[in-house]
Structure 1
Amino acid sequence: MAEASPHVVVTSLDDAEKRITDFEVETVTTFTIFRRNKGFRKDINGLAEHKVKWEDVSRGEGPKIQYNGTPFIILGWDVRECQFGPDRNVKQKQKYQLEKTLEGKKDHSYTQKGRTLLQNTKKQDCPARIHSKRICIFPEYKINGPDSIWKRKDQSQRLKAALKDKKNKVAWKEEIHILFPSHDDHRNHVTGQLAGFCQPVDKVIKKKIQCLMDEGVTKVAEMKRHLKSFSKKDLGKTSTQNRRFYPLDKDIRNVMDSYKNQTRFSKDDKENLEQLLEKYKSMNEKDSFYLYISETEDFLFVGQTEWQKRLLNIYGQEICLLDATYKTTKYDLPAFLYVSTPMLVTLLLAASLLQMKRRSQ
């Protein structure tokens, strides 16, 4: 016999999110939003437009609200699916795979070689869902004594009239009813502690990674040491098999790359480069940088720092070397100017130059 799914009632959206997160951590599962109407997250207003209800025991899969004498209105609902639920993006994935295959057949393709995947998707049609229903109750209009159709109709009319009267403030309370799935509702995938290997990175861990990046952590190995200590000491999570709190190197790298893209000045590399050069110029006025980008995307960059100027004045009086690969390859590469130290012990970079012209296809 399958165990009954728990029905939980909380009084705010924040409490609802916390209960759902605690449930995911406890059961080593992850749920993603499948459907949600606007009223679930919207500020509570315009209550007179909603229908007054006394119970909600429809045949749907959501939580059932039994009659207790207190009228209420339904503000919104939310449905979350197990991460191994139905695949709802089959056509988009097929289109992307076709474009990737065609791109890989072109000459000088920049498409990276993909891995051989025994399973092309993690979706396994798992039917497990979390159903949430947000309601607003009105305790002042509760029916005391025996229930009857006439009492419900009379109280409903009084409540609707009070809600339409803007001068009259009607007392109300918010409730969120949550119906969690049972363990038996999950199908076609691993459950329990072994499911920790398939968990995505937790939001708390992502925020910690962002904070550490702001503090100057750039290496994946260093980031991993910080996260291990944070998960164990601050969060109290000891199971290193759970990728939700102990992410792999590639998980950390993906989060770091995503945060880098979010904090960039612009998605346009040209604007990012201009902003970066302005930053370098402000750090040291003696550094010299020149950037020119024409309307046809012709590009010219010249850069020389203060210490490079000093090297050129000291050692560049006798011999200077230009990078031998400049203009000898098919692709545009920067030209490097080197100076040689006494006794030809080593070569030092004294300046850099990059020129590129837009080629017609």
Structure 2
Amino acid sequence: MEIHILDDTEEPIDYGFTQQIAPNSGFCESLAAANEIIRNYQEKTLTKFSICKSCKNFGQKDWQSGRHLISFESDRGNVRIPFDGIPFMVIGTKVLQCQHGKDSHKRSKERYREIKESGNYPPNKKPRVLTNPTKKMDCPAAIHLREVVTFPQFPVKKDTARYRRKISCDIRALLKNDPSQIQMDRRIYIVLPFINEHRFHLIGQCNPNLKQIMDPDIVEKIYEQVSLHGVDNADEMTQILKRFVAEIFAGKKLPPVSSKKYYPSKRDVKEEMTKALATFRESKYICSSMNQQVVQWVEKQPENFVYFHPH
């Protein structure tokens, strides 16, 4: 079944680009910012992506200038870099595919199935039992990243082929002789897929394979209610969290109810409450043990002043 959900928003969504080039593309200036943009995109579109391929040194500080060409614009590949008068070097690329994308282990899975059906499966090895079918459905949606190093000291004053060659030679010479004298700024260009580029799978809340990480503030609120107020009922905790989310987004648009980041399921709430209760009991045990230790210290050395304040 092919699902199409068109993105009919009139205004481009702010994902956190340093400079937005198109509704679904732009650039940022650090790897952390790029990861945050991808995280925002996944949360707002209720999709999930995983790394498909990446250059070895993508996002790293070490790179070899001699292996890269000096460019002024680029239309190659899926990431277009427009001309802005600043020369640059492309030093790395990265591609993230939809979690329902192409299955890179399809051949090995077929061989495994053939061995299992032929009866040659090792008797001492326990076979895997898959309760759910594979998530891979050849969805073409992907996030493309291209990392570049720019040289703002060498702006293009005359956009001619001769002047471009001169700038390239000057940059090469300076990189070879004294690279510390040249200013280099990093940019990561990102192209995000439109929601209607997803194919062959459900999208958003209807997707049974979608998993969202609970917001840290929500987790902290659960721990606070369990340890300080003794809340032990999941339904009561759910109502507390709903009011807490309303406080967080006071005066702003509330996140959709389908967002498990802010509106976790009852099962997820129970799991976090169990973890919080275990942590609370462990901390009480540690405080009790420390209290006994302090008493022993005071008995052995009464001349010392010991102040113990359990949290």
Counterpart among 184, 189, 197 of residue 185 in structure 1: 197
Deviations 1:24-56, CA, capped at 9 Å, x for gaps: 233222222222224322126654654322332
Alpha-carbon distance in structure 2 between the residues aligned to 1:76 and 1:5 = 23
Q: 1:41 is matched by which residue type in structure 2?
A: G
Aligned to 1:177, what secondary structure does the other structure show?
A: strand
Q: 1:151 aligns with which of 140, 163, 168?
A: 163
**Counterpart residue number, 2:34:** 16
User: Match of 2:35, SS?
Assistant: helix
Contact 1:12 1:174 in 2 (8 A): yes
Give 1:147 shift: 1.8
Residues 265-324 of structure 1: per-residue CA shift (max 9 Å, x gap): xxxxxxxxxxx9998755547xxxxxxxxxxxxxxxxxxxxxxxxxxxxxxxxxxxxxxx
Contact (CA 8 Å) 1:206, 1:255: kept in 2 or not?
no
* SS of aligned partner of 1:141: coil
Q: List aligned pairs for 1:135-214, cutoff 5 A.
A: 135-148=148-161, 150-166=162-178, 168-191=180-203, 194-195=205-206, 198-202=209-213, 205=215, 208-209=218-219, 212-213=222-223
> 1:267-286, aligned counterparts within 5 Å?
282=290, 284=292
1:70 pairs with 2:82: no
Determine if contact 1:210/1:259 at 8 Å carries over to the other structure: no
Q: Deviation per CA, 1:53-74: give whole Å up to 9, x if none.
A: 233222x3x3112344421012
Contact 2:226 2:276 in 1 (8 A): no
Instruction: Look up the equivalent residue of 1:240 and give its one-letter code.
Output: V
**SS of 2:53 mapped into structure 1:** strand
1:29 counterpart residue number: 47
Offset at 1:85?
Answer: 1.8
Superposed displacement of residue 143, structure 1 = 2.6
2:256 to 230, 233, 239: 239
Query: Which structure shows the bigger proportion of residues in strand conformation?
Result: 1
The verdict on how the C-alpha distance between 1:196 and 1:136 changes in structure 2, with shifts beyond 3 A counting, is same
Matches of 2:37 and 2:289 in 1, distance apart?
A: 51
Counterpart of 1:248?
265
Distance 1:102 1:39 in 2: 38
Q: Report matched runs for 1:298-309 at 5 Å.
A: none
Alpha-carbon distance in structure 2 between the residues aligned to 1:277 and 1:27: 44
Cα distance between partner residues in 1 of 2:44 and 2:241: 20
**Pairing of 1:33-112 with structure 2 (within 5 A):** 33-43=51-61, 47=65, 50-58=68-76, 60=77, 62-89=78-105, 91=108
Q: Offset at 1:146?
A: 3.6
Q: Give SS of 2:153's match.
A: helix
Name the stretch that deviates more: 160-169 or 276-285: 276-285
1:129 touches 1:180 (CA, 8 Å); kept in 2? yes
In the alignment, is residue 123 of structure 1 matched against residue 136 of structure 2?
Answer: yes
Tell me by how many angstroms 1:207 deviates: 6.7
Task: Calculate the TM-score normalised by the size of structure 1.
Answer: 0.55
Q: CA deviation at 1:132?
A: 1.1
Q: Work out the CA distance in 2 between the residues paired with 1:200 and 1:52.
A: 42
Quote how far apart the aligned CAs of 1:138 are. Answer: 1.1
Distance across 2 between alignment mates of 1:199 and 1:145: 51
Percent of aligned pairs with the same residue? 22
Q: Distance in 1 between matches of 2:173 and 2:277?
A: 54
Larger radius of gyration: 1
| C-alpha contact (below 8 Å) 2:218/2:262 kept by paired residues | no
Taking a change above 3 Å as real, the CA distance of residues 278 and 208 of structure 1, as seen in their structure-2 partners, is closer
In the alignment, the residues of structure 2 paired with residue 80 and residue 225 of structure 1 have an alpha-carbon distance, to the nearest angstrom, of: 37
> TM-score by structure 2 length?
0.62
CA–CA distance in 2 between the matches of 1:146 and 1:125?
43
Amino acid in the other structure paired with 2:177: D
Distance 1:92 1:281, change over 3 A: farther
Query: Tell me, which stretches of 5 or more residues in structure 2 are unaligned?
Result: 1-5, 8-21, 294-311
- The corresponding residue for 1:318 is none
If asked which structure has higher relative contact order (CA below 8 Å, sep 6+), I would say 2
Cα 1:207–1:282, aligned 2, differ >3 Å: closer, same or farther? same
